[in-house]
Structure 1
Amino acid sequence: VPNLRFPEFEGEWQEKRLSDIADLSKGIGISKDQLSADGEPCILYGELYTKYKSETIKEVISKTNIDNTKLVKSKANDVIIPCSGETAEEIATARCVLKDDILLGGDLNIIRLHGYDGSFMSYQLNGKRKYDIAKVAQGVSVVHLYGEHLKNIKTINPSLNEQKKIANLLSLLDERISTQNKIIDKLQSLIKG
Structure 2
Amino acid sequence: YSYISGETHFTRGSKIEWMTILIKELLNKYKKVTNENWGRVNGIHRNSWADFNLSSLEFAQEDKGDLLPSEDHKKVELLVNKLKTYEHQEEKYYLHGDAGVHNFVYKGNKLNGVIDPMPLIGPKIYDFTYAFCSSPDDLNLETLLSSFSLLTQDVPFNIERLLEEVIFQLYTRIGVCIRVHPHDLSGYLKSWKEWRVYLPSM
- Shared fold, TM over 0.5: no
Give the alignment's TM-score, normalised by structure 2.
Answer: 0.28
Question: Taking CA–CA contacts closer than 8 Å with sequence separation of 6 or more, which of the two structures ends up with the larger relative contact order?
Answer: 2
Of Structure 1 and Structure 2, the greater helix share is in 2
TM-score, length of structure 1 as denominator length: 0.29
Select the structure that is richer in strand.
1
